[in-house]
Structure 1
Amino acid sequence: MNYLFPTYQRWEVEPVSAKGAYITGTDGKEYLDFTSGIGVCNLGHCPSQVEEAVISQMKKFWHVSNLFPQGIQQRAAKLLAEAAGLDLVFFANSGAEANEAALKLARKATGRPKIISFTKSFHGRTFGSMAATGQDKIKKGFGQMLETFIHLPFNDSKALLNEIGDDTAAVILEVIQGEGGINIAEPEFLETVQKACQEKGALLIIDEIQTGAGRTGKPFAFQHFNLQPDIITVAKGIGNGFPIGAVIGKAELGEAFGPGSHGSTFGGNPIAVAAAEATMETIFNDAFLQEVSALGEYLTAQAEKTLGALETVVEIRGLGLMIGIEVDGNVPDILSDLRSNGFIALPAGESVIRLLPPLNIKQSEIDQALAFLADSLKKLTRTAI
């Protein structure tokens, strides 16, 4: 008997151990993992520096509550704030919680009701973050969504300018839509959004849940563009597998989030924060990020060379080590075939294979991954013929 709610379409691989870019299953088979726990294990599975930090903290204390000042939270918050160019941090347990907090903060700080987001976006599955998400399939069956959430076409500046007004609390967006299909925002669109927010007094929230923590070759993806957000949300990769999320905001927003305004029993748990501190100390390093950029360029170039000419490949797009391969074929079947051969990747949207390898992936592992993909996609071409 299965005692779990069937909320996930689980794969046929059950891990027994994992290290670096590899997972070993109960079948004794080793799998090259280009999912990183859905963009979470950015340093790969079980990196020694994170393991040591967690064990060290566990020997001190596991939980004391946020009624106590904790130096480890201050250190981790400093790393986040300085990397983002902002001032204040609130720790949560996940990306959805971080977005939920950011939406509350925006409404409270501005006194306004309306939140603007975009189609194909994904911001979480709590009621606030689900309301902000621009995908109907996420909301199906849950009844009436929260009011004053507006969804506009992504990269449509005219639609944004027609909608934003004096009742707008915030615009929330991903500069690269991960779950929506690896859709990259156009620089001109992002500039329009920022200028409109500034003119109307609305806050700009950048959701960096999947794109942050070095995934694109910079600490945060918005830093590839000429953006100065008011609020950033992060999670996933900052804890390398330990549950943690965070809201990072400008100093002037501190008054809106005073004592009693928001909270989380486990937010900023010292074990998770220890993992995050060790992870960020590694990733928020210029030499490390330069290597991520170089690996991202290599992955994109080799993917174009190896896969670009295949009949089933529509487009290859992405930034850094966040790559989407749009295909003309059944993505679940392709991913299943890949797993049977020892390679694990992700879907994104309806027709995209998503690659999120560890940020310290080796070039030889990239080559191996692309060989797996080429084999499966060539089989799909033969089947179509």
Structure 2
Amino acid sequence: MSLFRLTLRNVLHRRFLSLLTVCAVAVTVGFIVLLTLSRESVEQGAKKGYGPFDLVIGAAGSETQLVLNTFYHIGAPTGNIPLAALDQAKQDQSVAEAYAMTTGDNYKGFPIVGLESGYFFTRYGGARLQEGSMYAHTGDTIVGSYVAKSLGLKVGDTFSGAHGLVQEEGLESAEAEHGEEHEEHGEEHGEGHDEDHAHGSFRYTVTGILPELHTPDDRAVFTTVDYAWAVHGLAPEDREITAVLVKPASLLGAHNLKQELDGSDGVQAVYTSKAVSDVLNAVDQGSRLLGVLTAICVLLAGISILLSLIAAAGERTKDVGLLRLLGKSRGYVWLTLTCEGLLVTATGLIAGLLLGHLGAYLLKDALFAQAGIQIQPYHWTPEHWLIALGAIAIGLLSSLGPAFRMYRMHPLALFKS
């Protein structure tokens, strides 16, 4: 009987214990693979999330909040700033491009972003729309590919937005149910009614659908900057913007503009890369905690393999003694147990790789919907090879103890025991 057939028969003879060991290895490997893919996706998504816009101007407050809201469409804006900040940025000789942004409304949970159309040409070059044309008039919109797919939107569709960045579920039914009560307390809730009515009566029209950009822009609705002014009927002197996206002509130019604007009239200018780096540092701190949990899982998987092989060695003492009496060498005996450990480990490794990528596939939509991070479930990273080598090494090391114990014993002692 060949060594492989003998090893396979021994593994199948102890199905339950072998299955538990395979599951321990598979869960550990799957967890590490999912963690690796998620971390790489977060890093890649964060780095390309802001494109060439190395500086962003917004209301004073949290730098991280400003960058996350502006480029990743996460969280609320820090506030509004005067239009004069846009004029100052555009007139600066060290600025290559500057675009205004307004935000604060949503459509079914997806942010509505007022943004000058030149942003798309500056960031994505000559990428064409998947369908339709760019917005040109107030109320025209183009929607990200993820939004169009999720909501079934197509060119020509119309809709109304809602105030805030989170859709209030059941708003219409609640209004109908409590209509009389709202009428009685009209003075108390009049301002809220006026705002709801303003958003409900303003209609957007889908004029185009963006191609898959693999950035947070896939999950947003874009329209003209003046949409917020039109919805709220603001006079020219009351008009403000949420942020200014700046592509500097040089790093020195970005520094000079930041010095001029930062801290003046409630305005802050933020280096985008610095704010993103702060977010990644926070992610790394969380990864360290997960790393500790991963190390514990690896240790438990190694112990599981070791216990499985110790049990196998105890069961197979007479069999090994008989093999030795039939003339099989000590090396053959050593290989039978070592190969058994490696076979169980390799089976768990393959199952774990499949499990990790399956988990990434199942979580990719949820991760993208919440954070705009596109996880690549089919991506193979250099760390995969390290995971595979580490798993095989742990399986081999766990096999050495029981195998060496059987190797040292005399065949008569093995048989008599």
Q: Do these two structures clear the TM 0.5 threshold for a shared fold by scoring above it?
A: no
Between structures 1 and 2, the one with greater strand share: 1
Greater relative CO (CA pairs within 8 A, separation 6+): 2
Question: TM (normalized to structure 1)?
Answer: 0.24
**Higher helix residue share:** 2
